[in-house]
Each structure stands twice: as C-alpha cells, then as structure tokens.
Structure 1
C-alpha cells in the first residue's frame, strides 16, 4: 500500500524512514527529497528493483539511473581508476550537485542498464536523503517523474505522476526552494583525461576549474598536444624545423556522447 509521510514532523519522519528502508529491502521504490529535486529510489544492487524504477518512469535500459551514496568513502567500493583530479572534485563538491562518471568496479553484482561499464555517482546535500542512504547503502535514483514530464519539486507532485508504482513517499517540502526552478546536478566524465563536463548544472565550470583547472567545458575540444622537441643529435637544420602538428597525437579521448548518462533535469 502506498503511503506518504510528512518528514517536517519528527515522528512522521522517523516512521517514514523506517518504512522506506523496509520497502527498499523488499525491492520496491520510494520517493525522497534531494538537494536538486525529488528522486525515485531503488536498491542499486537489485536488478528487479532497478527495472521497477525504470518502468515506473517509462524509461528503457538505454537510460540507466545514477547511484547516490551516503559518504565519500563509498566511492572506492563502487568505482575503479579514480584519478587524483576526480577525487579533488569529489572532496570539494560532495555532498552537493556534482555527479561523477567512473568505470564501475567489475566485481560488483548489479545491473543498472546499458552503462557500458560505467557508473554515475553523487552524494546529495540533503539530510533526509542522507539519512535514508545511511540506512540502505547506495541507491539507484532518478528524478521522480514520468520521462518527458516536469521534474517533481515535492513528493505530492511526484505522486501525481508515479502513483501506486511507489511504496513510500517522503515529503520534505519544496526542493530546491519554493518558487525556484528545478536544478540538475553537473555531470563530469571522470573516465577521460582531461575530465570533461557532459551536462551543465548546479556546479559551474568556473567553480570546477578553481579545483581542477584542466576540466573541459561541455562540447569543448581537447587542446592540441605540443609538438615533440627533436633529440639533440637529431635536431634539423633551421630551415628544416618540425612543422606544428607533426608530433604523434595521443589516442583520442572517448566522445562525450558515447558515455551513457541521463541528461534530464533531475535528482541525478
């Protein structure tokens, strides 16, 4: 039976979180507030639960949900090849509106959809979300709306779209704030060097570059590598100097569009 809880009441909040934890363990979906908008959440390690989340939204496996985590040190258990630059961004902007795409740990037994071996991770800056995440562990979370419809900014708005497909609705008031527009998290692809923004959002490029100056903007081309200097005993005559671009370029970075991420405004 679908139940809504007013989490501005301490008593209902405690009861709602307990019910939500139980629903997650039973492979059901819940709706919870985040620092961006409301999200529909399911056990990230249950293919059945993730499938139910996708069906509830009217979405296919080609649009896999991101995963929200309760604390930064959960990163290393879920991702591999975490670069120093990516870790700097996580340390600076988590909890907050930054999603980072990594190579997923190959040993993990999960199925989020057609991820091509990647996982999008974020730690939200919301007390209710973090309290639930600390009870359940990592959750697959997407915006709490039917695909193509406006992102829900309250649990009541989410319920008008998702109805009985969700077991528990945790109402925490407007997100981010009443009268403001929904905001998406910024998504940075951390599987490439240099790091690359693949969706603009809550964290501006300027703020990202204050921490990691080399982050590429959305759609920005990677800078051309400098030409290699010839060895001393192979230096050409002045009129035979190497032309710019003759040096062998490094392998191409993956095309941003080849990374499977969801770009709809939402909890991710």
Structure 2
C-alpha cells in the first residue's frame, strides 16, 4: 500500500489495519490492541517482546492498568512530569488488556503518551493503539515513512505532506521504567533521563 492521507490512515487503523506514523522518538508501527498479532508477524518479533500501548492522553491508558490507590498516585506523578514524552511505564495490566499485547507475560503492559501532534491527532481518533518501532526485529528503527513503506508494503504509512510542520522524532527510543511494586526499575535508558527521587516510590 502507498502513503495515505491522515483521514485514510485513521480509518484504516480503526478498521484493524497495520499503520505507521511519526512520533517524538522513532516512527511507530501500530494497530488496534486486539490485532497485536499482526505486528509480531510483520516484524518477525519474538513473543517475549511485548508491545507498548500508546494513547493521546494519560486518561485513555489508566483503564488498562491496575494498582492500589497509592500506586496510582505514584504512577500519575511520573506521568504528569514526563508525559507527553519519551517515557514508557511498565505497569501491572488490568483485565481489559488483550493478552496478544504481551503473550508471554500478560500481567504487565508498557504505556506511553507521545509528545507529537501528529501521533496525538491520530490516537485521539483511534483510541489507544498497540505500538512498537517500525523495523524488522533486531534491526535499527527505520526513520522515514519512505523506508517503512519499502520494508512493510502491507502497512498504511502517513503521507509526507501531512506533517511538514511537525518536528521529526529524535531517533532515540523511549526510556522504559518498570514498576516493581515499591519503586522503578529502568529497563531501557532512552530519550528521557529519569529523576527517580523518593517521591516516586511507595
């Protein structure tokens, strides 16, 4: 498939097709959560590498995680500080999360709100999407829609003309922080340097 305008990409995503669009870090390969298996197949990705649930607003993501009142406060503190932005929080998953998002360990889920107007515009109309970087597993993230279109001809990619005013992503994946039940563990150091002071612990 060729590059498509924004409205077609949103309609395609809502219909369950694989799509790709820019974010504030690296371009995303995305699909509705129930169809997450399409991403694993397209990327030739191992089942033990979970996907990230991305949304336009933090409020759209809290339904997919579960924790105590205190934990929610800690999570929201960090989200308020770093979202929208290049931080993925790995938290305990709620029953609402389709298991295909994280086939090996469906008890956790990574969530993120990107600091990208284009990505937020899309996600606001599709709802949360299962996402990952656009590349074959084990290879560097592809940085342009043209390269993504070439490597993934079955994916709906966003037309270049749609985001000419958008600042391109920094090309560095998000920082990934996992909640251990009492504090944060950095799984991947990426776009954001986290300040994990005592106020971010239970």
TM-score of the two chains, using structure 2 as the length reference: 0.86
Q: Deviations over 1:92-114 (max 9, x none)?
A: 10000000011111244452122
Query: What is the aligned partner in structure 1 of residue 81 from structure 2?
Result: 92
Distance 1:110 1:132, change over 3 A: farther
Aligned residue for 2:138, secondary structure, equals coil
Gaps of 5+ in 1: 6-15, 217-268
Query: What is the aligned partner in structure 1 of residue 198 from structure 2?
Result: 213
Runs of 4+ in 1 over 3 A off after TM superposition: 107-110, 168-175, 212-216
Alignment pair present for 1:204 and 2:193:
yes
Aligned residue for 1:111, secondary structure, equals helix
Distance 1:185 1:108, change over 3 A: closer
Distance 1:215 1:186, change over 3 A: farther
Q: Deviations over 1:138-164 (max 9, x none)?
A: 0001101111222111111212222x2
Trace 1:18-33 onto structure 2 (pairs within 5 A): 18-33=7-22
Aligned residue for 1:80, secondary structure, equals coil
Query: What is the aligned partner in structure 2 of residue 8 from structure 1?
Result: none
RMSD: 2.1
In the alignment of these two chains, the number of paired residues is 193
Cα distance in 2, alignment partners of residues 170 and 101 from structure 1: 31
Cα distance in 1, alignment partners of residues 95 and 180 from structure 2: 14
Alignment pair present for 1:41 and 2:30:
yes
Give the CA deviation at 1:84: 2.4
Q: Deviations over 1:193-233 (max 9, x none)?
A: 1221111111113xx23xx33769xxxxxxxxxxxxxxxxx
The equivalent position to 1:74 in structure 2, one of 49, 60, 82, is 60
TM-score of the two chains, using structure 1 as the length reference: 0.66
Aligned residue for 1:131, secondary structure, equals helix
Query: What is the aligned partner in structure 2 of residue 130 from structure 1?
Result: 120
Q: Highest Rg: 1 or 2?
A: 1
Query: What is the aligned partner in structure 1 of residue 45 from structure 2?
Result: 59
Distance 1:170 1:55, change over 3 A: farther
Aligned residue for 1:124, secondary structure, equals coil
Alignment pair present for 1:176 and 2:165:
no
Aligned residue for 2:136, secondary structure, equals coil
User: Is the 1:153–1:175 contact (alpha carbons within 8 Å) kept by the matching residues of 2?
Assistant: no
User: Is the 1:100–1:189 contact (alpha carbons within 8 Å) kept by the matching residues of 2?
Assistant: yes
Cα distance in 2, alignment partners of residues 170 and 67 from structure 1: 23
Aligned residue for 2:182, secondary structure, equals coil
User: Is the 2:13–2:31 contact (alpha carbons within 8 Å) kept by the matching residues of 1?
Assistant: yes
Gaps of 5+ in 2: none
